[in-house]
Chains A and B, each alone.
Chain A
Amino acid sequence: MGQFILRRSLASLIVLFLASIMVFLGIRALPGDPALVLAGESPDAATIAAIREQFGLDAPLPVQYANYVAQTFQGNLGISTKDRIPVADILVERLPVTLELTSLAILVGLAIGVSAGIASAVRRGRSTDYVATGLGLFGLSVPHFWLGLIAILVFAVKLRVLPASGFVGLGEDPVENVRRMVLPALVLGTGLSAVIMRQTRSALLGQLSADYVRTARSKGLSRSREIRHGLRNSLTTVVTVLGLQLGALISGAVVTEQIFVIPGFGKLTVDAVLSRNYPVIQGAVLVTVTGYVVVNLLVDITYAYLNPRLRLSGASE
């Protein structure tokens, strides 16, 4: 198992390195000059040149990249070209907000998705199954922004039970924080729960007719124990799907944060792109990529834990 984790971690490092090059080059390929944006309404050549020099934008690309990597390893992600605040500080402030939102959304997605998936697989062909698969299809097709607006309309405007938007830090007021996170987390988690529900259903249906479930039954185990036997082998699918859905979750977070006016990572990224704030975009994308890679590493490890055959093949290589 240890060797397996080591090999996977090395592979993840390579991915991170390649990703950092892509991010670096990708942003420089975008049209628009940040120096021009920064120089204000009527820029003169001297001001632009000064800005270029100050942010290192006049150096050749490889040098810029080397500087960037060296600085990154020192925890220096550059300074926001917009408000001159260190990018690292901005990220540290914004990241927890989005982490909280996506974690809650994953919890919502798993809780609803797995339980609905189990229910519809176990009661296949009955009304429970039809209701769950119908809702699942709805959850898959409905866009975040629409669901977000409807949620605000129903819970904030009509029922007045939850606030429509805004954010309060977890440290400031935990209760208010949760109250304000409920709607965004539900909205973001809905699509995920639909995907997880469908995957859980089909995986579990396949497993429940497996011979080993019949063995479990022949041992005198209860129906719920039988289902647990099948579920253990279905969860690999669920974990894989969760890893794959992370991209969708991050882009969903961008939209959700816009709707509910949450000062998170997504909103930060959108604002930075609109103002060509290179250092912030780089930092944000780097953190996103790192998060993605780390989560997929965790997915691989969980997968090996759930599926012992994989552990063995990892160790023997």
Chain B
Amino acid sequence: MSLLEVEHLRVEFATEDGAVIAVKDVSFTLEAGEILALVGESGCGKSVTAMSIPRLLSGDDLTLGGSVRLNGVDLAALSERQMQEIRGKEISVVFQEPMTSLNPAYTVGHQIGEVLRRHEGLSRRQATARAIDLLELVGIPDPRRRVQSFPHQLSGGMRQRVMIAIAVACQPKVLLADEPTTALDVTVQAGVLDVIQNLRDSLGTAVILITHDLGVVADVADRVVVMYSGRRVEQAPVQAIFSRPQHPYTVGLLGALPARAVTQGGRRRLTEIPGMVPPPTSDPDECQFHSRCPRATSACTLERPPLGEVADGHLVACYHPGPGGHSAR
């Protein structure tokens, strides 16, 4: 049994323009101490996938399908009160926007301490002491003074470290990091990733890292799930994704990386993926990528390609898998 098992997850939002299916039949597992990257462009459903794990999505217009099991326990079957026991303690989240994800009216010490008081029954004084330790753990200098700071007195990188301190305060089994470095300066990004990696190493926390930055993936991830238009299109160990990508979409993403730019007539050139993501309102029985795919054949529009294993632990949903030959354009 894996630590976390996501099976056939489906997330649907009712909107004025009809149902938007943000996540379609996504399954994956997460082992203890593992860093799994969810990769894809904006709107591919990677954040929605992650947020539905601790049931942070809510609203009357939301329909969830499939199951999420933590240590074998189906989270969908828990009451809201039971779920509150899990959030922040077993599963916690680092959000993308450090500027707005902290409450401007409370000190960072209070906001870190709150989760400790909630789950570990600490007193205010004990919680503050632990908050100071946590600030030190995530690499904030002068934590004794900083614990009294308000979010607006900290830089973006510092705030994200505070977010991480909140997330790891109760030593969760699973950490969901939703684009944790996207809003930060490049120079600060590496530091924040280091903190996440160190926590994995020291506490054995499993991490789901949501990102569209393949450089980040190469740095820290153990396994990668590539999502496209709400579906899982490829899944593999990180080395395999970079050395032997199979899905043309993955190949296209890698081609858009500056370090892998194609040399053309003496000039290095980035390749883009032509076309647009299909609207999330429709879900026809075909490969959703076919309209943008250089390898597309008539088979791709007749039936959706199933996920098949091309190598050990390497899954791909494509009729024409293979590492080479992305768009010539």
Contact = CB atoms under 8 A, between A and B. Distances in A.
A307 B119 CA distance: 28
A123 interface: no
B100 interface: yes
A210 B118 contact: no
Contacts of A308: 104-105, 150, 152
A229 B100 CA distance: 13
Contact of B118 (A219, A232, A306, A309): A219
Nearest to A308: B150
Interface of B: 54, 56, 80-81, 84-89, 92-93, 95, 97, 100-106, 111, 114-115, 118-119, 150, 152-153, 163, 166-167
A222 B117 CA distance: 13
Given A218-B92, A219-B115, A212 B103 contact: yes
A221 B114 contact: yes
A94 to B, nearest CB: 40
A214 B95 contact: yes
Contacts of A229: 103, 106
A9 B123 CA distance: 38
A306 B80 CA distance: 31
B103 A232 contact: yes
Contacts of A218: 54, 56, 87-88, 92-93, 95, 167
B101 A212 contact: yes
A219 B87 contact: yes
Q: Is the interface of A mostly helix, strand, loop or mixed?
A: helix
Nearest to B55: A217
A219 B166 CA distance: 8
Contacts of B105: 232-233, 306-308
A215 interface: yes
Given A214-B101, A309-B150, A312-B152, A220 B106 contact: no
Given A211-B101, A232-B106, A233-B103, A222 B152 contact: no
24 contacts: A211-B95, A212-B100, A212-B104, A218-B95, A219-B114, A220-B85, A220-B86, A220-B87, A220-B89, A220-B119, A221-B84, A221-B115, A225-B114, A233-B103, A233-B105, A306-B105, A307-B104, A307-B105, A308-B150, A308-B152, A309-B104, A309-B150, A312-B150, A312-B152
B150 to A, nearest CB: 4
Contacts of B153: 312
A211 B150 contact: no
Nearest to A216: B103
6 closest A-B pairs by CB: A220-B88, A220-B87, A219-B88, A211-B100, A212-B103, A218-B93
A159 to B, nearest CB: 42
Interface in A290-312: 306-309, 312
Interface in A7-24: none
A221 B118 contact: yes
B118 A211 contact: no
A117 to B, nearest CB: 18
Interface in A27-62: none
A237 B81 CA distance: 31
Considering residues B86, B104, B105, which has the most beta carbons from chain A within 10 angstroms of its beta carbon? B105
B103 A220 contact: no
A222 B163 CA distance: 19
Contacts of A214: 56, 95, 101
Nearest to B153: A312
A309 B152 contact: yes
A222 B101 CA distance: 17
B100 A210 contact: yes
A215 B166 CA distance: 9
A308 B104 CA distance: 8
Interface string A190-224: 00000000000000000000111011111111110
Contacts of B111: 215
Interface in A218-242: 218-223, 225, 229, 232-233
Nearest to B58: A217
A301 to B, nearest CB: 16
A229 B97 CA distance: 18
Contacts of A225: 114, 118
